[in-house]
Amino acid sequence: MTRENPLLTMIREVCALGRAEFERPSTAEGDPDAGRALVQGLQAIDPGGEPSAISLSLALLAPRAPYFDQLVLDAIAAGVPQVVNLGAGYDDRALRFRHSGVTFFDLDLPDIVADKARRLHVMGTDTAHLALAAMDFHTDDVAEVLARAGHDAHRPTLFLAEHLALFLEPGDVASLLARLSGHAAAGSTLAITAEVHPADLDSDLVVSTVDDVMFGGAGPLHTIQSRDAWLALFEKTGWRIDNPDEVTAVNHFEVTVADRPTQIQTQFLTATA
Binding site for ligand SAM (CB under 6 A): 11-12, 15-16, 87-89, 91, 108-109, 112, 135-138, 162-164, 167-168
Label residue 129 exposed, middle or buried (CB < 10 Å: 0-12, 13-18, 19+): middle
Query: What's the min distance (Å) between Cβ of 218 and ligand SAM?
Result: 16
Query: What's the min distance (Å) between Cβ of 24 and ligand SAM?
Result: 13
164 or 233: CB nearest ligand SAM: 164
Query: What's the min distance (Å) between Cβ of 168 and ligand SAM?
Result: 6
Query: What's the min distance (Å) between Cβ of 199 and ligand SAM?
Result: 25
Residues 255, 213: Cα–Cα separation, whole Å: 8
Greatest CA separation for the chain:
54
Query: What's the min distance (Å) between Cβ of 61 and ligand SAM?
Result: 8
3 or 154: CB nearest ligand SAM: 3
167 or 230: CB nearest ligand SAM: 167
Q: Are strands 130-134 and 189-196 parallel, antiparallel or unpaired?
A: unpaired
Q: What is the dihedral of CA 76, 82, 84, 85, to 10 degrees?
A: 30
Q: How many CB atoms lie within 10 A of CB 135?
A: 21
By the 8 A CB rule, do 158 and 84 touch? yes
Query: What's the min distance (Å) between Cβ of 245 and ligand SAM?
Result: 26
Helix (H) or strand (E) holding 270: strand 260-272
Three-class secondary structure of residue 188 per DSSP: coil
Going by the DSSP 8-state scheme, the letter that residue 121 receives in this structure is: H
67 or 240: CB nearest ligand SAM: 67
Residues 88, 105: Cα–Cα separation, whole Å: 9
185 or 253: CB nearest ligand SAM: 253
16 or 210: CB nearest ligand SAM: 16
